[in-house]
Amino acid sequence: MSGLDRLYMQRALELAELGRGSVSPNPVVGCVIVHDEKIIGEGYHQIYGGPHAEVNAVNSVSNPELLKESTAYVTLEPCAHFGKTPPCANLLVEKGLKKVVIAAVDSNPLVGGKGIEILKNAGIAVETGLLEKAARWQNRRFFTQIEKQRPYVILKWAQTQDGFVARTDFSSKWISGSQSRQLVHKWRAEEDAILVGKNTALHDNPRLDVRDWAGKNPKRIVLDSKLALPDSLHLFDQSINTICYNSQKTHASENLDFVNLGNDFSIIEILKDLNARKIQSLLVEGGSHVLAQFISSGLWDEARVFTGKSCFEAGISAPSLNENPAETLRIGDDTLNIYYHV
């Protein structure tokens, strides 16, 4: 593959990212169409249930006759099945493209390889693997759900300089600065669901929404085994779709579901149920005990840890990770360490 090929695929990856937070449980996908080393069409999957990247790219080409001598660069194997939209592989065949370059093959055993097969059977040249690592990383939520049968789990907490997430009375405002808190709202808009335990719900009374950012609110998840939380909390105001996992009852009302897991009240059972609900990614915001459960079970993929400039001297200890940070960033006065569990 030439440098130009990499450039076109990099552009397709940039386009794909524009769909972040809007297409789950589908993957983010970008497509670039090139004729005589000139981009003549671009598209990305914009919203779940809407046209896929290839459709939008094809529709953006002003002279459709050029498609027969063009190459499409797609970040993920074109789909081959009828879902909410017709198969993209069939569209590319119909339009008579000369060549299709694919970054990552779909690893879903029911889908993977079938799009490529349709293209090749129609006489279209197909190449795979260009910027594959970047494409799989971009869609790590999608691939985690397919390959591990659970959501991609992101742990998040803020801690003081001396390693506490809250004071002895469980209060924690404010460990991190305003820029960090706004960044967290951006993260919430990018994930399917956000989870807290009973103590965080009780002592912080969080809304778990994206009021400081433009985007959709994630589904709210609260763990309350004995149903001890008061229904006056923001989490139970039915303004956002919310699930309360417990060991007492199952009951559904508008925007509020109580799910009884019985004696199997564990992180793995919670993730199984979320997976069955097509929740592709989960942001875990606390508290310390819940975060520690995810860590000890090994059921996490990423951790984002803010360290503020304050000290509490005593309080609720932060979780500990036996990992070295992959990235360290400055967010205002805070330090953000990002960890990946591989």
pLDDT tens-digit profile, the chain (342 residues)? 789 999 999 999 999 999 999 999 999 999 999 999 999 999 999 999 999 999 999 999 999 999 999 999 999 999 987 776 789 999 999 999 999 999 999 998 777 899 999 999 999 999 999 999 999 999 999 999 999 999 999 999 999 999 999 998 888 778 999 999 999 999 999 999 999 999 999 999 999 999 989 999 999 999 999 999 999 999 999 999 999 999 999 999 999 999 999 988 999 999 999 999 999 999 999 899 999 999 999 999 999 999 999 999 999 999 999 889 999 999 999 999 999 998
Distance (Å, whole) CA 100 – CA 97: 7
Task: Catalytic residue, from 14, 42, 54, 77: name it.
Answer: 54
Short-list 97, 299, 114, CA closest to 195? 299
To the question of pTM greater than 0.75 for the whole model, the response is: yes
Which uninterrupted H or E stretch holds 41? strand 38-44
Residue ranges of alpha helices (H) inside the chain are: 3-17, 53-59, 88-95, 114-121, 132-138, 140-148, 178-190, 198-204, 267-276, 288-297
Beta-bridged to residue 126, according to DSSP, are: 100
Beta-bridged to residue 104, according to DSSP, are: 76
DSSP state of 332: T
Dihedral pair phi/psi, residue 290, rounded to 5°: -65, -45
On whether the CB atoms of residues 130 and 100 are closer than 8 A, the answer is: no
Contacts of 79 (CB under 8 A, 6+ apart): 52, 87, 88, 89, 106, 111, 115
Whether 327 is a known active-site residue: answer no
